[in-house]
Amino acid sequence: MRLAAVIVAIALSASSLGGQQAAKPPADTLPPLSYVCTMAGDEDVIEDKPGLCRKCGMELKPTRLDSVWTCATRPLLVVESKPGKCPVDGTPLVQVTAAVSWTCADQPSLEKLEPGTCANGAPMVKRYAARAHGNHNPQHGGQFFMAPDNWHHVEGAYLSTGVFRLYLYDDFTKPLPLTQVRDVAARIVTKQTFDATTKTTKELAAAPLVRNGRFLEARIGKLALPAQMTAKITFKKGGSEHVFDFAFEGFSKEPPPGARPTTTASTPTPPPPPAPSTAVEGGTIEIAPAMESALIPVPIPETVPEIMAQLRIRTDQIRTFIDRGSFASVYVPAFQAKDLALALDAHKDTISADQRKIAQPAIGQLVRSAYLLDAFGDLGNKQQIVDAFAVFAAAVKDIQASFPER
């Protein structure tokens, strides 16, 4: 998952969904201890040492967190250390953040943060528990976003029948209770104009999203692909309206329903479509829907001209993703650009003092805007992403002026 999602995920307490896992553990190394706030709304507080929450004053809770590969719609049923296919339905494994602890088979209520030996002499068993914000993967083949309140989550699916469907989740990616779905008011906008002078949007084509069980839907017809549309949602009566911009390269496909035998099959099942990818120099990096940016390192060139060339490539990639509406992919080149910009610090002695006065603030500005691009990509708000990219691009321009290629 993207870094913004990871930061939130590791700040929340584990749910009771966790259980003893028979699957192969992701690694034998012990994940580091983190200290998080368990108060709802203070999910962004995470420290590397004990203390009190800087927001609410509650005592921080120690936990160990790990990033594992699992089935998208059946998280933690299978736990793997690398990409693969779900043995239940054959879909690609996705990455989630899980809480790690150790327990004993005869004492399931026992929870330790270090491995050890049970009273009967047997080694303790590693256990994985779901985390709030730990799974930001689509459940119905659509596009998944987190709401600005850091609790509600939405998934938009555009079906080949011309129907837009909106699924609603809580912070554990569980469907909202029906009583809460009834309070949601939403519409889908397929055409609108933005007046830059007045900073207002005029909707030219919109349809109300009508409840159908636990999801909302509207028939909008078959639009030319890639299809862009905006969902405007109020989660509670009298609450604020939130905006989510969707861009569909193709129609959404529902994952296979239910389990499928993995040992025998009368009819071969076609392989799932490849994971989305982004091209980079030297090959193609496969981007899982929930891949953490730290897992996609960019090789840092040794010379300033090479670094600047790579920085231009990442900037162009971000611009392309924004133009295409692929907001979920923006974080990858943004964080790669961040690493490239930070690498320039080792070359600051090659420029003048006046150039350093421009370069150092610009590098800091690029780093901050990269995190904003990541966060706004999670929210799916195009205007926020465009504004953050304007700051990012201005920082790149100042860096280029400060480090002349020679």
Distance between CA atoms of residues 232 and 147, nearest Å: 11
Distance between CA atoms of residues 385 and 369, nearest Å: 10
Fold topology of 143-248: Immunoglobulin-like (2.60.40)
Distance between CA atoms of residues 387 and 376, nearest Å: 10
Distance between CA atoms of residues 24 and 78, nearest Å: 8
| DSSP string for residues in 272-288 | PPPPPEEEETTEEEE--
pLDDT number for residue 216:
95
pLDDT number for residue 229:
95
Q: Residues 6 or more apart from 205 whose CB is under 8 A from it?
A: 189, 190, 191, 192
Q: Do domains 143-248 and 296-402 have the same CATH topology?
A: no
Residues facing 68 on adjacent strands? 96
* Secondary structure (3-state) at 180: helix
CATH hierarchy code of domain 296-402: 1.20.120.290
pLDDT number for residue 263:
30
Residue 73 structure tokens: 């719609």
pLDDT number for residue 3:
40
- The secondary structure of residue 289, as a DSSP letter, is T
pLDDT of the chain, 406 residues: tens digit per residue: 444 444 333 333 333 334 444 344 444 577 888 877 777 656 556 677 899 988 888 999 998 878 888 887 777 777 888 888 888 778 888 888 888 889 998 888 888 999 999 999 999 988 888 877 778 888 899 999 988 887 899 999 999 999 999 999 988 888 998 889 999 999 999 999 988 888 888 999 999 999 988 899 999 999 999 999 999 999 999 999 999 999 999 999 887 654 333 332 333 333 333 333 333 332 222 233 333 333 344 568 888 888 998 899 999 999 988 888 878 778 888 888 888 888 887 788 888 999 999 998 999 889 888 888 877 877 777 888 999 999 999 999 999 999 876 5
Strands 125-130 and 94-104: antiparallel
* 90 conformational bin, left if phi > 0, alpha if psi -120 to 50, beta if neither: left
pLDDT number for residue 406:
58
Distance between CA atoms of residues 14 and 22, nearest Å: 19
Domain spans of the chain, in order of start: 3-130, 143-248, 296-402
Q: How far is CA 307 from the centre of its chain?
A: 27
8 A C-beta contact, residue 402 and residue 390: no
